[in-house]
Every structure is written in structure tokens, then in C-alpha cells.
Amino acid sequence: MPEQVVVGDFLAAQRPRRADAARNFDALLVAAREAFAEHGAEASLEDIARRAGVGIGTLYRNFPTRRHLFEAVYANEVDELCLVAEELSAEPPWEALTGWLRRFVAYTVTKRAIRDALEGEETGVFLACRQSMYDACTPLLERAQEAGEVRSDMSIDDLLRLVSGISSVVFPDDEQRDRVLGIALDGVRGVQQIGR
């Protein structure tokens, strides 16, 4: 059985210790996320380095291959999603859950580009990311179910597949995507919540 990867530990192990090198690492992650969202997995590594304000050598020193960069961007996005779940946990149940799901939809734009590039490979990093997302969202879903805000017959897997399906469609604009997501979320609400 492969050793379990913990997303936060994976990122911490990659991040350089020196402050200036850590800043470059973080800038590269941000630049890569933007480039992958705009241009897909084929985004230019030179453009990513330029956006981050570093040379291509710095990019390769941190991420020896495109795959290393993909995995780090993906893990960083998931780590941020987990932090958002923690931040939203103090909100009312429905608002916490839908706030996290809307952030999840934004994350899937980057995810799609990376997953397409890796042709669905399931590495330890990707499996750890999936588990981290489920672990982060499950308490939000359960709390909303306990409050009667969400259907009780829905699992976290059902919910994330529903939202992933919506986010995998190419919409002409963000407004339509948000409207379709809102329609789907109406179907997630508990029966007693419909018509409120």
C-alpha cells in the first residue's frame, strides 16, 4: 500500500526555507494557477516565470518538471479550499456550505487544466487532495443536514459530483454558470426549505 500523502505536508516539504526563495515559490504557484486557468495545461513555463517575476531557472529549481508544477498548484488550491472550509464553519449552515461550494467551482477551472494534462492519473498527491476536500466539506454538509437546510439523503460524494458536473461545462460567461449552480443548489435544499 502506498504511503499516504498529507496535502499540507506535501507543500511544506516543497517550499524553500529561505524567505526570498519561499516568496519566489509562492509567486510561481500564483502565476501558474492564473496561466493554467487562462491557457490550460499547455501554458508557457516562460510566461509563468515572467508573471512571477523570476527567471526560468528559478522555476526549474523549484519545479524540475511540468508535472511537479501541476501537482504543487493542485495541492495548493486544495489546501486553500480546506482553509476556506475552516473559515466558513462559523457561518450559518447553508451559507457556509454554499460559500464553500462556490469556491470549489472556482477551483475546478485550474483543476480541469491539470487533470487533462495528466490524463486522469491518480497519484498519491491527487488521492490526498481528493480526501482533503471530502474531509473539509463533510462537516459543512453534515451541519447543514442537521439544521434541516439540506437533503438528508445526500452524501458528500453526491454533492461534489453534482457541483463538479456543473463546473465541467463551458459556459459563455460566469453569470450563467452561477445561475445554473444556483438552480442545482436549490435541488440540494431540504424539502422544508423549498419555497422559503
> What is the average pLDDT value for the chain, to the nearest integer?
85
SS3 (DSSP) at 189: strand
Q: State the cell numbers at 36.
A: 493554467
- Residue-wise pLDDT tens digits, 76-133: 888 889 999 999 999 999 999 999 999 888 777 667 667 666 665 667 777 888 888 8
Question: 25 or 121: which carries more pLDDT confidence?
Answer: 25
Q: Which domain holds residue 69?
A: 7-193
Q: Tell me: pLDDT of 190 over 80.
A: no
List the CATH number of the domain containing 31: 1.10.357.10
Share above pLDDT 70 across residues of the chain, in percent, rounded to a whole number: 84
Domain count, the chain: 1
94-to-101, 141, 154, 171 alpha-carbon distances in Å: 11, 9, 14, 25
pTM for the full predicted model: 0.78
Whether residue 193 has pLDDT greater than 80: no
Residue 163, sorted as left (phi over 0), alpha (psi -120 to 50) or beta, turns out to be alpha
What does the pLDDT read at residue 3?
44
Tell me if 65 is assigned to some domain.
yes
176 belongs to a structural domain: yes
Q: For position 116, what pLDDT does the model report? A: 65
Note whether residue 44 is domain-resident. Answer: yes
Task: Please determine, for residue 191, whether its predicted confidence score (pLDDT) is greater than 60.
Answer: no
Over residues 17-23, the mean pLDDT reads 88
DSSP state letter for 135 = H
**Residue 2 in domain:** no
